[in-house]
Amino acid sequence: MPNIRIMNWNVEKLSGAKTAIPGMVNNIARVIVDSAADIVIILELTSATGPAALALVSAQANILAGGNNYLGAFLSHPTGGDVYGVLIRDMNTVRPIRVVPAVNQPTGTDANPLGNLDRTTFATWPAPRVGPGAVANAYPLAGWGLPPTLPLVDVYSSLPRRRAAQRGRFAGRNLANGGYAMGRGFRMPCLLMFEIRNTPATATYILPILACHLGAVRGGANRLARGQIRQYKDIHISQKFQNPPLLANPFGGYIQLNGAVRAIQELIITGDFNVDFLQQAPPLGGNALRNGNRSALNTLTPTSRNGGAAAPAALPGLPGGAPGFPFGVIMGPPGPNYLTIPNLALKSANTTQGSILITVDLAVVPPNVAALRGANFDNFFFGGTQLSATFLNLTPAAFPWVADACRVINLPAQIVQAGGGGAGALDVSAIQAHQANRFANALAIAAAPPPPPPPHFHYGYAAPNLAPAAAAAVLTTHDRLIGTRFISDHLPTVVQFNLP
C-alpha cells in the first residue's frame, strides 16, 4: 500500500471574496500541489461561499498537477458559520467513508451529530470499483450521485457560563437549546474517515481523522478551547481506538463498514486548537496558564516538553487487520470514558517552525523572525507511531528537533518578485496590487470627515518590492512575511501516515 501524506491548513477566511482576488486561487493551489498531499484538510471555509471557493481551488490544483488530481472535493455540514473542506488527490487510492442514511440514526449535522458509533453504519463512497483491481477510474464518477457531506461529531460541554454550569450537546446552539451561542468559537469537530485502497481492491485500510477548529482568544487562557480538548477523550471514535479492545469495552475497536465489522487501528486528531503548546507546565508544575493548558493537552498526548513528540513515544499500532467481531451483539451506550486516548502522542514540529504568522509590525525592521518560528501553538497532528517524518529526508543527527512527524511548509521562503519562477515559487504581485489599490481607496475615503482609520489589508501598501512593476531588488524578510500574509495567516502542516 502507498503511504499517505496529509495536510492541515487553516486558510484564512477562504471564501468567494478571497478567491476573487487575482492570483489567490493559483497560489493556494500551488502550495497544495507542491506538497504532494494525498489528503488536504482545509479549515476556515465560510459556510456561505466557502464551498464555491473550495471548488475553484480543486479545479486549479488539478490544472497545475495535470491529469485527474484533487478533483475529490468534499465538505462537512456547517458548524458555527464555517465548514470543513477536504481535497483528495487520487480517488483511486483514497476514498471518503460516508454515513449510511437510516431511520433513527444520526446524520452528522450540527443538530443531529454523530455520538455512539455503534448505532451508525458507514460505507465507502463511491464503491465498488469497476473491474478487478481497476486503477484508472475517472472522477467525478458518473452514476454515483452527489458526494457525501462529512459528518460532525458530538462533544459535551460543561464549562460554566453566566454562573450556571450547562451540560448538553455541543451543537453551536444557544443555552435554551442545550448549547452555547452560535459563533466561530463554537464549532463542532468533524469526523473524517477514509478507506485507503490498493490493488487488489480487497487490500484496504481505514484512516479516521478527527478535525477541529477551536475559537481563539487574544491572549492568556482559552478556557473554551481547553474544555473542548479535554472532552475529545469522550468522543466515541476515541473509545473505538483500542488495540486490542479492552475487557471493559470488548466491542469498542470496531465500526460497521460496507456491511462488515472493521477495526480502528489508528486515530489522528488535527486542526487549529488555539491553545498555546509552548505555554504549558513541565512535569514539576508551573503557573496557572501553563498548568491549565497542560491539563487540557494531557488528554491527547503525554508529551509535555517544547521539543514536540520527543518523549515518551507513542505505542505502535498493531500491524495488519484485527479479527472481526459479529456486529449487533451489543447496541448499548458508548464504552467507558478514558482519561487519555490510548496510543496518541504529539506529532508537530512546534518549536522549530511556526504554523501561524505573527502580525507584521511595520515599526520593526527587520521583523522578529524568532517570534515567527516560535509561534506555532495551535496547528497540530496527534497520532500514533504510524505517523512518520521519513518523507522529509531529515535525520536527527543533522536536525536534532526531528523527534516528531510533522513538517510546517515554509511559505515565506517561496515568495518571489513579479514574474519570478522556479519550483514552489509564489508570485503574489497581483494580490499586492489588489490590496494596495484597496488601501489607496480607503485613504481617499478617510480624507472626508469623519476620517475612519485606514485598514491594513495585510500591509499590501508596505511591500513595494512585491508590486507588479517593482524594480529588481532582493526581497527582505519583511517582504516575504507580508507576501505570505496575503495568502493566509497560518502555514500548512504536513504529516505522513505510514501504512503497515
Mind listing the pLDDT tens digit for each residue in 23-53? 999 999 999 999 999 999 999 999 999 999 9
**Residue 202 to residue 1: CA distance in whole angstroms:** 11
Q: Rounded CA gap, 476 and 480, in Å?
A: 6
Instruction: State if pTM tops 0.75.
Output: yes
Burial of 186 (0-12, 13-18, 19+ CB in 10 A): buried
Residue predicted with more confidence, 26 or 396: 26
The set of residues, in sequence order, having a beta carbon less than 8 Å from that of 325 and lying 6+ positions away, is 251, 254, 261
- Give the mean pLDDT of 423-430: 91
Element (H, E) at 229: helix 223-230
pLDDT score at 67: 80
CA 289 to chain CA mean position, Å: 25
Q: Output the nine-digit C-alpha cell for 84.
A: 470543513
- Is pLDDT at 198 greater than 80 in this prediction? no
Preceding amide of 208 cis, omega within 30? no
Q: Phi and psi at residue 484, in whole multiples of 5°?
A: -70, -40
pLDDT level of residue 201 (50, 70, 90 thresholds): low
- Domains recognised in the chain with CATH numbers: 4-410+490-497 (3.60.10.10), 411-489 (no CATH)
Q: Which long-range contacts (C-beta less than 8 Å, at least 24 apart) are formed by 470-474?
A: 470/417, 470/418, 470/429, 472/417, 473/417
Q: Which pLDDT score is estimated for 130?
A: 47
> Is the separation of the CB atoms in 463 and 482 below 8 Å?
yes
CB burial string 326-342: b at 16+ within 10 A, e below? ebeeeeeebbeebeebb
Q: Give the chain's length.
A: 500
Question: Is 90 exceeded by the pLDDT of residue 404?
Answer: no
Task: Name the band, by pLDDT with cuts 50, 70 and 90, for residue 202.
Answer: low
Quote the pLDDT of residue 244: 55
Over residues 233-261, the pLDDT tens digits come to 878 888 788 655 555 555 567 888 988 88
Q: What is the pLDDT of residues 108-147, one digit of tens each?
A: 998 888 888 888 999 999 876 544 444 455 677 667 778 8
DSSP state of 391: G
**Please, which pLDDT band fits residue 280 given cuts at 50, 70 and 90?**
confident
Average pLDDT (493-499) is 82
Q: pLDDT per residue over 294-311, tens digit each?
A: 888 888 877 665 444 444
pLDDT at 328: 39
Segment 162-197, tens digit of pLDDT: 323 333 444 444 434 433 444 555 788 999 999 988
Q: What is the pLDDT of residue 413?
A: 86
**Cis-peptide, bond into residue 336, ω within 30° of zero:** no
